[in-house]
């Protein structure tokens, strides 16, 4: 089993999802050879909570992965709670070796700069290669287009549980991820051992980068080139599993942790050779329009999943937790609420697409505020964040077309920019994924009553986890050498 997790890749960013100018690549081949989801949702519109949900099958609010900062920061003393049971922990119990390479973003240290008590080894991963315990952020830019130099306090790379670069270099990052993932797969195959690989990419989060070893170009500028490098990396791993003769025995899932950046921001930056737009959805990362939470999703398993199929059911990324556990012969925990459903019958073709009249409901929280629900064909918004147009973003553009400030016009919740809707907004996102046409509340009273009833059922099972994303503790800040004020080290 393999999960390829992209970072901030939007619903319409891939050629196979309809982008008119993005080049075709191996991820698109996966879509032709397997199942493509048209209504797959992340649980959150930013990194840490969505990743916690993917690996546990549980809403972030139950886990405690919510709070003031919305994500884990380098000096946070908290991480994914040890009492949460992750996918690799369950798979380990049924004989799988689990490995990870790439971005983690679920905690690092507790109260010392090198304790590493929240890193992947403590959550079921037997093997851990090169990884970014935090993430690849704006201030890690090496091109000097955004700033003079990267900030070491935000930009560091680990090998297993040891810092090897602070700040880190992007130049061979993707190839390193691929090479190490390939080694892990080959070792497990040689030992005739089933494996789970979690390959979590830095593309296409800012700072945007293209490795010197690939040097892809694109009609879409640097953003499209990043998609090409991401797709190339997926293709290299797919070549491996084919050459090793394990293609028919390997279930592969590609998705993104949340949506990309707002459509109008991307339109502007595309014109300026930076980022490109979603095709049909509005909003993006950090907010709860479709662009922030509806993501690409592809499952491939030759001989088991029919090629070229489209799954139009409402599916959550949390469903992959439950489904992977079932397919591996494991058992989901019975002592807690698991929000992911087992969709084995859907993906193996023994059950046709579920009728929308079944009206599955998905809950979308920003911290502990319920922003929206997806219910059947409909989306109900209790809160929204404003989305500026490209003219309003133009002032944030510097010389050469690169932004000179952060592009979130609204990020924190609660905050003054968050808009409350009472009564709520309703959209038919099957017919109107851009959420442009608000429905008449008077004609949807029954829908709102059903949502109210389902919310009451949900709340009856909801026990909030301890809030983890509000605490910072400076001694937790990773530092390769505390004798250096800058904590800057680049080891050979």
Instruction: Assess whether 105 carries a catalytic annotation.
Output: yes
Structure tokens at 12: 């319409």
d(CA 270, CA 95): 47
Strand segments, DSSP code E, in 35-161 are: 35-37, 40-41, 97-103, 127-132, 157-159
- For 278, counting Cβ atoms within 10 Å of its Cβ (0-12 exposed, 13-18 middle, 19+ buried), the class is buried
Of 47, 366, 479, 487, which one is the catalytic site residue? 47
170 an active-site residue? no
Closest CA to 280 of 180, 427, 490: 427
Task: Find the length of the chain.
Answer: 492
Tokens of 228: 């090409």
Contacts by 402-407, CB closer than 8 A, 24 or more apart? 402/145, 402/146, 402/272, 402/274, 403/146, 403/269, 403/274, 404/146, 406/138, 407/261, 407/262, 407/265
State the Cα angle at 469 between 465 and 470, rounded to 5°.
110
Set 105, 146, 205, 261: catalytic member: 105
φ and ψ of 184, to 5 deg: -60, -45
Query: Does residue 267 contact residue 258 with C-beta atoms inside 8 Å?
Result: no
The residues that are catalytic are 47, 105
């Amino acid at each position: 089993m393999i999960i390829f997790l992209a970072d901030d890749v939007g619903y319409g960013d891939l050629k196979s999802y309809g982008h008119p100018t993005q080049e075709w690549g191996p991820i698109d081949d996966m879509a032709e050879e397997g199942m493509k989801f048209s209504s797959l949702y992340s649980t959150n519109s930013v990194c840490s909570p969505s990743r916690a949900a993917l690996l546990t099958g549980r809403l972030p609010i139950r886990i405690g992965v919510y709070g003031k900062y919305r994500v884990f920061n380098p000096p946070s003393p908290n991480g994914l709670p040890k009492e949460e049971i992750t996918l690799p922990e369950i798979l380990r119990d049924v004989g799988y070796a689990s490995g990870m390479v790439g971005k983690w973003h679920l905690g690092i240290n507790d109260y010392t700069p090198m304790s590493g008590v929240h890193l992947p080894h403590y959550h079921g991963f037997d093997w851990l290669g090169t990884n970014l315990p935090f993430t690849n952020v704006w201030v890690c830019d090496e091109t000097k287009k955004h700033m003079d130099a990267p900030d070491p306090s935000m930009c560091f790379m680990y090998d297993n549980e040891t810092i090897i670069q602070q700040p880190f270099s992007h130049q061979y990052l993707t190839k390193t991820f691929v090479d190490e993932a390939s080694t892990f797969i080959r070792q497990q195959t040689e030992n005739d051992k089933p494996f789970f690989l979690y390959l979590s990419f830095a593309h296409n989060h800012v700072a945007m980068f293209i490795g010197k070893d690939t040097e892809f170009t694109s009609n879409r500028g640097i953003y499209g080139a990043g998609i090409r490098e991401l797709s190339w990396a997926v293709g290299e791993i797919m070549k491996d599993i084919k050459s090793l003769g394990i293609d028919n025995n390997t279930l592969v899932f590609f998705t993104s942790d949340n949506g990309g950046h707002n459509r109008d921001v991307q339109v502007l930056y595309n014109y300026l050779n930076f980022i490109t737009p979603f095709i049909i959805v509005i909003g993006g990362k950090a907010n709860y329009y479709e662009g922030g939470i509806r993501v690409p999703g592809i499952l491939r398993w030759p001989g088991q999943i029919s090629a070229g199929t489209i799954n139009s059911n409402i599916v959550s990324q949390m469903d992959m937790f439950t489904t992977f556990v079932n397919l591996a012969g494991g058992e989901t925990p019975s002592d807690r609420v698991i929000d992911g459903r087992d969709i084995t019958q859907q993906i193996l073709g023994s059950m046709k697409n579920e009728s929308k009249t079944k009206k599955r409901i998905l809950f979308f929280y920003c911290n502990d505020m319920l922003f929206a629900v997806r219910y059947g064909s409909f989306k109900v918004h209790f809160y929204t964040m404003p989305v500026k147009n490209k003219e309003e973003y133009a002032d944030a553009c510097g010389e050469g077309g690169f932004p000179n400030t952060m592009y979130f016009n609204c990020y924190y919740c609660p905050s003054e920019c968050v808009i409350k809707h009472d009564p709520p907004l309703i959209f038919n996102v099957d017919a109107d994924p851009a959420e442009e046409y608000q429905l008449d509340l008077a004609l949807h009273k029954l829908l709102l009553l059903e949502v109210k009833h389902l919310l009451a059922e949900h709340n009856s099972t909801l026990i909030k986890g301890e809030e983890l994303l509000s605490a910072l503790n400076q001694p937790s800040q990773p530092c390769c050498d505390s004798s250096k004020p800058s904590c800057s080290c680049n080891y050979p």
